[in-house]
Structure 1
Amino acid sequence: MDTKLRQRVVGAGVLTALAIIILPMLLDGTSDDRARVMATIPEPPTIELKKLSMEGALRRMREMEQESAAQLPELLPDFTPYDKTTAADENVSAGKKSGAIDLTLDKNSLPVSWSLQLGSFQDPKNAQRLRQQLRDAEYRTYIIRVLTADDNTETFRVYIGPMLKKNQLEAIAEEVRVKFKITGQIVRYRLEDDGGQLGG
């Protein structure tokens, strides 16, 4: 083999060996960086949870009940002689004198009452406008939102009432017809319908 070729092969081998040793150090960073990456992560600390017992909580509740009971005022007995029959008679006669209303009760023991339906609108703003006009005229009004069974559309109905006496509502219906040119319909007021009431 030629001497020059041998020197070139040996030189290439030495350079390759140096490259294998030196390049990883240059590309991977310093040995400190490698040591930092290899650092071990400590174990997570153990957290001691305080055990709560139900007995302690129940004991504390009993103590609080006793403390609050001790702070209540004593009940004083009522030594006033009281005749139930005469008191009931007085209440009945006082009710008759003050013009108490005879109530008709429905099957749920609720008083039968009536409302005057004045309009049914698809736009809630129209219903609110009519309600405000009636309130400005000092009528007690409300709006109920109803879903029609036919096509499941939403309508807003304006009412005056409710009132216990139907004849009072008939007089109001005539007033409204004259003042506002609206003919209303007297309907039975049902408490179940209040769920659809529109506030305001």
Structure 2
Amino acid sequence: MAVIVLPMLMDGSTEDRARVMASIPEAPDIDVKKLSVKDLRLKMERMERASATQLPLEVVDESTYAAGADFTLDKNSLPVSWSLQLGSFRNRVNAIKLRARLRDAEHRSYILYEKTSKGETYRVFVGPMVKKSALQALQGKIETSLKLKGQIVRYRVEDDAGQLGG
């Protein structure tokens, strides 16, 4: 019997329930015809242009850095790093095969894609490393173990936009 009577006593009166229902605000009236995707795009473009003007300008740093210095910063306050370029291919598949071969030998490697007037180029690198001397030692190991000759080049973070994933 208590199971039937107690819920009626605990729920409150019907007036209380009506008051709770009445306090919910009405849904806002939105005129969908006035909303425009074009307006949103224009607003987003304005916001992107405004934020782009606040970015610092990139300083082109063509300086050559001594091999003895283990850690230096360039003009953009980024660490000067080095990579070992081991191949340059027009065929994407060949670049991916070389990268896989390097990764199988447990070397950190990546591919940079570049579109030139002569066509597409895929360059395969090992690195980057902050210590050029460590990369030179690694270059010798790669030459003996994988029979690949490479060239040490300056690593630039800015070039990562052309990095081929995978």
> TM-score, normalised to structure 2's length?
0.58
Shift of 1:182: 1.2
Residue 157 of structure 1 is aligned with which of 123, 126, 132? 123
1:191 aligns to 2:157 (yes or no)? yes
Shift of 1:102: 5.5
Partners of 1:119 and 1:102 in 2: CA distance: 26
Q: CA RMSD in A?
A: 1.9
Residue 148 of structure 2 is aligned with which of 166, 170, 182? 182
1:97-141 deviations in Å (ceiling 9; x for gaps): xxxx96200000000000000000011110010101110110000
Please list, as runs of the form range in 1=range in 2, the aligned pairs for 1:2-151 lying within 5 A after superposition: 51=29, 103-148=71-116, 151=117
Shift of 1:51: 3.7
Asked if the contact 2:84–2:151 (Cα under 8 Å) also holds between the matched residues in 1, the reply is: yes
Partners of 2:137 and 2:70 in 1: CA distance: 19
Shift of 1:196: 0.4
Partners of 2:92 and 2:103 in 1: CA distance: 16
Q: Give the length in aligned residue pairs.
A: 102
Question: Partner of 1:119: helix, strand, or coil?
Answer: strand
Structure 1: 5+ residue stretches without partners: 1-49, 53-100
Question: Partner of 1:126: helix, strand, or coil?
Answer: helix
Partners of 1:102 and 1:181 in 2: CA distance: 27
Partners of 1:102 and 1:164 in 2: CA distance: 7
Inter-CA distance 181–165: structure 2 relative to 1 (3 Å threshold):
same
Structure 2: 5+ residue stretches without partners: 1-27, 31-68
Shift of 1:180: 1.6
What percentage of residue pairs aligned between the two structures are identical?
A: 58
Higher mean C-alpha deviation, range 151-160 or range 136-145: 151-160
Structure with more of its chain in strand, by fraction: 2
Question: Partner of 2:126: helix, strand, or coil?
Answer: strand
Question: Partner of 2:111: helix, strand, or coil?
Answer: strand
Query: 1:161 is matched by which residue type in structure 2?
Result: G
Question: Partner of 2:124: helix, strand, or coil?
Answer: strand
Shift of 1:152: 3.7
Partners of 1:196 and 1:124 in 2: CA distance: 13
Inter-CA distance 175–102: structure 2 relative to 1 (3 Å threshold):
closer
Shift of 1:146: 1.2
